[in-house]
Chains A and B, each alone.
Chain A
Amino acid sequence: MTARDAFLSAPTLTENSVTHDHLNWLEDEAISILREVFGGFERPAILCSFGKDSLVVLHLAMKAAAPGKLPLPIVHVDTGHNFPEVISFREEFVKKHGVRLIVGHLDDSIAKGTIRLAHPLESRNPYQTITLLETIEANRFDALVGGARRDEEKARAKERVFSHRDSFSQWQPRAQRPELWNLYNTRITQGEHFRVFPISNWTELDVWNYIARENIELPSIYYTHQREVIERGGLLVPVTDITPPRAGETVVTRDVRFRTVGDISCTCPVASTAASADDVILETISATASERGATRMDDRANDAAMERRKKEGYF
């Protein structure tokens, strides 16, 4: 039996046990964590890339607040190297849901001189941290909700749900506060803040199943579309102004979808004909590469890269 057959033939619950359905359990856990943020902090915000994980968090946050309004703003760190589909999705989302959006522009940090690019087309991902920290300081946020999951990276397996950051926004892997039951120790002193991860316990498959169940809208690039790409080092590199073909490379048009949204200069699609969340789930089950490995050029090099960036304040 293949993995796909096994999943398709999996038993389902009976009517009266539906409360503790897998996704309901994860949903309840996330809602509870979000309400800790709503009730327990003075100046919280939700960090959102408008990628699938942060959109799931936003969906959960709206449920946690219902029937009231979302009680906190959304923060987007804009690298200036965005897929246009993501920015138009962002604008639509804000209009549709009447949420408050705060954008931190990487270009502002460049103008101020707090970010100095080595060359203009360099990947901007490593610099997001600086703009993020500037946005946190300017708004005096004391809690920042994010969509990171523990299964994404080995270095994240030990991350707390409420992750304490010192006044330099640094993560201290040796001084993490133990988390007991759901009695989170959210006490901080001036200048410190928490990063909060309501979907810590979700896997990529959970996220897609939830998107399918809840009909959560995503930027169109998450589903199959035709795109000009270059095959480079086992990756499909999208052809853009920032990532033009190199001498001798051939541009081909492929059916692709993206698995994460990020800086254009370092986010690659995968070949796919998945047109819906259910299609993506089937692909995911038989996937042979985990999310970041296949699509983020900057993570490939080093297993410990994530850990280093976390220490520096990246999510």
Chain B
Amino acid sequence: MSTAIFRGHARPLRFITCGSVDDGKSTLIGRLLYDSKALMVDQLESLGKARGAQSQSGKLDLSLVTDGLEAEREQGITIDVAYRYFATPKRKFIIADAPGHEQYTRNMVTGSSKSDVAVLLIDVVKLDFAQPTLTLLPQTKRHAALAGLLGLQHIVVAVNKMDAINFDAAKFERVVNAFGELAASLKLNAFTAIPMSALDGDGVVAHTVRTSWFQGPALLPHLESLEVSEARGGTTAHIAVQWVTRDESDDHLRWVTGDLAESTLAVGDAISVFPSGASAIVGAIRTGRGLIDSAKPGEAVAIRFDRQVDIARGDWIIAGNADAQVLTQKTQATIAWLDNAPLTVGRRYVVRHGSRWLPARISAISARLDLANGQWQDTVANETGNPFADVNANDLVRAEIEFAQALPLTAFAKSAALGAFVMVDPGTNATAAAGMIH
């Protein structure tokens, strides 16, 4: 057999679905899985056995496809990020299914960090088209703001339940315009809006006569064709060192491993090491495919240098000379608080940046994201006079963070590797926050 099946295809596309309860998110995911034949016979059978599997109309309830844990099934809500897979002949997809419930912003942050694209659901039934200017729901503003903050490369606005408003093109246009204004105010990347009915299938895998007035693609072909990049616009290659191994057959030469970020790295390139400042020339590079001359961003590499270099897990390899390393100890960052224990300003947390763990503290909070409208608000003193009082789970703030050591930080917009960190509560080991450097 000469044709490689799913060998030589483009890399998988990872997307997060964002919607509030009842927007039709589960139905949409169910439809994608169902229509792409990912649902095998026995899963369909167990679906039939599950409680309440038939919707009132007698149709198969697609939203039950995505239910996972027993407890959730009992509550009837999704409470965590779940990952789903489906493939078309063109591409494989990884869905981060983040819940729509108000207090679960943290799950959207988590799911987004593993996604290239956000599919944002808007339920047209919840909108008031009688008003002269159409107002989007607070959750739509919140989801859009988060997608922007987390640097997702594309946003797809799934304008759902069009069947409930007779596939009215003019109303769709009003939704698109309202979202356009929101996107402009949030300085989002370009977005694509698609009219659909997740329930009936219009606009999901293909458009139907009911959406024939729409000029753009249906959701699935759009996702199949999206180009995504492993790099974010940074120009300097860098690697967080994960592990160092030795070639026992070749004079115990050391090979340093990690994921290459942002730019290519080739044999012969000069690099420097953080924190030692040592410099070296790249002598050899290998990936899972063997020895190569030049590696691309996103590749997991092992590198040998032209000389012995003192290097360990936690260090960075950065292209260029050591003088070019810009080190910062105190900086502004966006902090998404995830832990149920609130943030304590001035408290010592442990932070993971790249593969390095080190202490850090939040020294000041300057603004807070108003989740109702997606706008930043300067923090003002509350009744107790403490402007730092309550940063709780699901809050997003702008803060000043001070690391125990100067680090090669870069804006998150330029490098996810150098620009992101996580904060851990040293007492409980709970993951307390996600941080993005400004």
Our verdict on whether A and B bind, yes or no, reads yes
* Residues in chain A within 8 A of chain B (CB atoms): 3, 6-13, 17-29, 31-32, 35-36, 38-40, 60, 63-69, 71, 150-151, 154-155, 157-158, 173-174, 176-185, 187-189, 200-201, 203, 205-206, 209, 212-213, 278, 281-282, 285, 287-290, 293-294, 303-304, 307-308
B237 at the interface (CB under 8 A from A): no
Name 8 A/B residue pairs within 8 A (Cβ), A-sorted: A11-B90, A35-B243, A35-B257, A40-B313, A66-B302, A174-B71, A185-B431, A308-B70
Q: B40, A200: Cβ atoms under 8 Å?
A: no
Q: A39, B242: Cβ atoms under 8 Å?
A: yes
Q: A28, B250: Cβ atoms under 8 Å?
A: no
Contacts A20-B10, A31-B288, A289-B40; A69 near B248 (Cβ below 8 A): yes
Contacts A20-B298, A22-B92, A32-B300; A158 near B81 (Cβ below 8 A): yes
> Interface SS of chain B: helix, strand, loop or mixed?
mixed
B7: A residues at CB distance < 8 A: 21-23, 209, 212-213
Q: B89, A9: Cβ atoms under 8 Å?
A: yes
B5 at the interface (CB under 8 A from A): yes
Contacts A67-B249, A67-B255, A188-B429; A13 near B288 (Cβ below 8 A): no
B337-370 toward A: CB 8 Å interface, digit per residue (1/0)?
Answer: 0100000000000101101010000000000000
Q: A181, B113: Cβ atoms under 8 Å?
A: yes
B80-98 toward A: CB 8 Å interface, digit per residue (1/0)?
Answer: 1111110101111010010
Contacts A187-B429, A200-B83; A68 near B40 (Cβ below 8 A): no
Q: A285, B41: Cβ atoms under 8 Å?
A: no
Q: A150, B69: Cβ atoms under 8 Å?
A: no
Q: What is the size category of the interface that chain B forms with chain A? A: 35 or more
B3: A residues at CB distance < 8 A: 8-10
Residue in contact with A293 in the complex, picked from B10, B42, B68, CB distance below 8 Å:
B42
Residue of A with least CB distance to B247: A67
Known contacts A27-B300, A35-B300; can you find 8 more A-B pairs with CB under 8 A?
Answer: A7-B5, A13-B10, A21-B10, A22-B11, A28-B300, A60-B288, A209-B5, A282-B1
Cβ of A11 to closest chain B Cβ, rounded Å: 7
B234 at the interface (CB under 8 A from A): no
Q: B43, A290: Cβ atoms under 8 Å?
A: yes
B109 at the interface (CB under 8 A from A): yes
- A179, A187, A290, A307: most-surrounded residue (chain B CB, <10 A): A187
Cβ of A293 to closest chain B Cβ, rounded Å: 3
Q: A17, B10: Cβ atoms under 8 Å?
A: yes
A294 to B40, CA, bound (A): 11
Residue of B with least CB distance to A202: B85
Residue in contact with B259 in the complex, picked from A13, A32, A39, A304, CB distance below 8 Å:
A32
Residue of A with least CB distance to B340: A175
- B67, B69, B109, B352: most-surrounded residue (chain A CB, <10 A): B69
Residue in contact with B69 in the complex, picked from A181, A294, A307, CB distance below 8 Å:
A307
Residue of A with least CB distance to B242: A35
Which of the segments B131-139, B271-279, B372-380, B416-424 contacts the partner chain? B416-424
B109: A residues at CB distance < 8 A: 178, 180
Q: B68, A157: Cβ atoms under 8 Å?
A: yes
Residue in contact with A25 in the complex, picked from B1, B12, B242, B429, CB distance below 8 Å:
B12
Shortest 8 CB-CB contacts between residues of A and residues of B: A68-B245, A39-B243, A293-B42, A290-B40, A25-B11, A6-B89, A12-B8, A22-B9
Cβ of A295 to closest chain B Cβ, rounded Å: 11
Q: A180, B85: Cβ atoms under 8 Å?
A: no
Contacts A173-B69, A281-B5; A36 near B80 (Cβ below 8 A): no
Cβ of B318 to closest chain A Cβ, rounded Å: 18
Q: B288, A28: Cβ atoms under 8 Å?
A: yes
Contacts A8-B5, A158-B81, A304-B70; A181 near B114 (Cβ below 8 A): yes
B24 at the interface (CB under 8 A from A): no
A209 to B1, CA, bound (A): 13
Q: B429, A288: Cβ atoms under 8 Å?
A: no
- A11, A180, A285: most-surrounded residue (chain B CB, <10 A): A180
